[in-house]
Structure 1
């Protein structure tokens, strides 16, 4: 689709993007006209005033740029609650949700959780999103349930409970790396005629070189992403987890799939008004930039920090194992409007051509049972 045929931003949104581009340009020029792509992506997504997630525009839902699983159906949260209810009594009864979006997952989860829930913490960097989450939760939960929700803008010293993230890891900045002329090069952003352009320099970081050697096929011109921010994030949380579990739901691959020779330009993509954008410089700050998750690397980070590996499977298997089809059957008479609406949503959650196959669930634990019903069938841990 040509850019001119896409919905046009408002004048205010365009001005916000212009100001963000001007600030990024200043940083590029101050850094000898080259900024690592991860730095550009971080500014585009998380600049305090104009970033995609930290600015004031509506990102999620039919009026935004993408729709998440919790927004499709409350059955997603009700099914997930079946797993959480078996875990919470083994902890201090806390849930820590990262990147809570609109707040809908929290609002749908809490009524389905047993009395084992003491506190529901939402860790959210965006003040605008945090306020929207509060409003949603207050509108959809009774006061005594809403009172269990607390927002945090920084990580606690330790975690005792269940850490949960749905479509969080894919929103973290990535490094773009290219193998060329028998060496690895780091892709960055430069200014050419006042325009952003992607340029490469020899890769200097020993850690990134080691990761590239581990994952990349050494094919001339092969380009993909590395995820040091994701790795450090999972490692930090794992080290802070004193007791409990971590559950991450996101789209991505094991390393062999991710770095398949035919996937020779990585997975970086943009989302704008429910359209796919291949230009990372399209409406900077107004377009979501994302890359798939390397679940092999996530598993390595958590287990290196001492966590037990619980399981890895597709979203479809995870939800079916926990009985989402039973919950659907209880919605109402087959053929009723309510049933047909939920059935369509469940189809999207489970279908291999929709979210069922591409989205994966990976989990880790510490001082907690490792036999989880969500991974009873269809575990694909051997692929990691």
Structure 2
């Protein structure tokens, strides 16, 4: 997964394909919330503004900024709210996406800066939309009652790739009841990222929006095929061994693991809830009322339960003592983690 997504010049996020956009005709593979409607960023800005105020910081950090759409929406909305943002720093591994972001954000001048890695120390409010799901996972397979790590090898008799299992001491973080064959993922890289972020964020807060579940749902006995999925031309498939480097590979987020990794490294959890509840708490309805019927219809995709509203979750963290974040004012599910 790491090679398929990030190998220089060849990986999906390292090549020049379009990736983000609303329609397959644009050459894109999938749409994220900021491309769907600017109301996403305008609404999220209310939480970012509160967090900047509560933490006494003036810098926004975005991880994996995609097309740059969310950065532009946040910068415009924060300015409209009268919130001072001295710097907007984007941490992105993709050189081709960085070029697209620089073009999209040129009007914001040198307030926007790009980094390829985390600095030793940082202060500010961190935002990550659909970042954790793109962090490489490890596959664990229970076959005939024994656990194996599932890896990738060169196909023995043909071009391409094949799966291969090897015995392992690795296990899911909770016991998966039953004795049926079972495929799932563990997320050491995403959890290590949270620990590193917690170590280096000396003042501020962080908010991550992504699709996933708490641990009890993630490792439910009936979820026996895992969550790895690929996306290309707005179509989904479950075969990461085909068209390697030409399509996105993702896995759902285990939000319990993310919360524990942050907590164990010193962060405080501000809240955890569905994307729908978070955006409604932050004032999405007001933005929708001010929009056209077509704009309201697009924004509704963000909160409809059968679309992005329930599958996507938001988790927030703070450095130091927690405070009442507006995004979690109602519908907080931290107790389910």
TM-score norm. by structure 2 comes to 0.94
Aligned length in residues: 327
Distance 1:242 1:77 in 2: 25
Contact 1:244 1:368 in 2 (8 A): no
Residue number in structure 1 paired with 2:307:
354
Offset at residue 369 of structure 1 (A): 4.9
Residue number in structure 1 paired with 2:228:
268
Offset at residue 115 of structure 1 (A): 3.5
Match of 1:72 among 29, 36, 43: 36
Distance 2:134 2:173 in 1: 24
| Residues 1:120 and 2:88 aligned together | yes
| Residues 1:376 and 2:329 aligned together | yes
* 1:138-149 aligned within 5 A: 138=106, 141=107, 145-149=108-112
Contact 1:87 1:368 in 2 (8 A): no
* 1:221-240 aligned within 5 A: 221-240=181-200
Distance 1:108 1:344 in 2: 19
Q: What do residues 189-236 of structure 1 show as CA deviations (whole Å, max 9, x unaligned)? A: 1222133111100014xxx34xx2535345331110111111101111
Offset at residue 56 of structure 1 (A): 1.1
Contact 1:316 1:350 in 2 (8 A): yes
More strand by share: 2
Offset at residue 92 of structure 1 (A): 2.7
| Residues 1:82 and 2:42 aligned together | no
Task: Quote the RMSD (CA, aligned, Å).
Answer: 1.4
* 1:146-225 aligned within 5 A: 146-190=109-153, 191-194=155-158, 195-204=160-169, 208-209=170-171, 212=172, 214-217=174-177, 219-225=179-185
Distance 1:215 1:352 in 2: 29
Residue number in structure 1 paired with 2:101:
133
Q: Could you say if the C-alpha distance between residues 187 and 358 of structure 1 is closer, same or farther in structure 2, counting changes exceeding 3 Å?
A: same
Match of 2:59 among 87, 94, 107: 94
Q: Larger C-alpha radius of gyration, 1 or 2?
A: 1
Contact 2:270 2:325 in 1 (8 A): yes
Match of 1:302 among 262, 266, 275: 262
Offset at residue 284 of structure 1 (A): 0.8
TM-score norm. by structure 1 comes to 0.83
Offset at residue 121 of structure 1 (A): 0.1
3-state SS, counterpart of residue 164 of structure 1: strand
Offset at residue 183 of structure 1 (A): 3.0
Contact 1:307 1:366 in 2 (8 A): yes
* 1:322-333 aligned within 5 A: 322-331=282-291
Contact 2:289 2:296 in 1 (8 A): no
